[in-house]
Amino acid sequence: MILIFTSIEILAVTIALYVYTRHALDYEKITISGKQLLFERSWGGKIQQHEFNTVWTKLVHNESTGKDLVLKTSTKEVPIGFFVGANERERFGKELERYLGI
């Protein structure tokens, strides 16, 4: 009986560690070079890259929640700031807006 519960517990810990390792190295990176903004996100081992022109890009708050930040142009919208704490989000948004619309 003990062996069964021990096996279940080891399986649960293994699954939890697997999920943790898939997202342990997640990140978002913004690189601004002149009028080019490159946004890169790694989520679960998959890397997404989006390129924007800083002149045509605006930073807006998501209409549905009002908290999430979105990089928006006429053709695409990309939510950003998943890893920024709620108390730091406003400061992050103001700092990023200084580079947009130049």
Q: What is the pLDDT of residue 38?
A: 96
Q: How far apart are CA 88 and CA 66, in angstroms?
A: 15
Q: What is the pLDDT of residue 17?
A: 95
In order, the DSSP letters of the chain are -HHHHHHHHHHHHHHHHHHHHHHTT-EEEEEEETTEEEEEEEETTEEEEEEEETTT-EEEE-TTTSSSEEEE-SS-EEEE-TTS-TTTHHHHHHHHHTTS--
Q: What is the pLDDT of residue 66?
A: 58
Which stretches of the chain drop beneath a pLDDT of 50? none
CB of 56 closer than 8 Å to CB of 37? no
CB of 38 closer than 8 Å to CB of 56? no
Q: What is the pLDDT of residue 65?
A: 62
Q: What is the pLDDT of residue 31?
A: 95
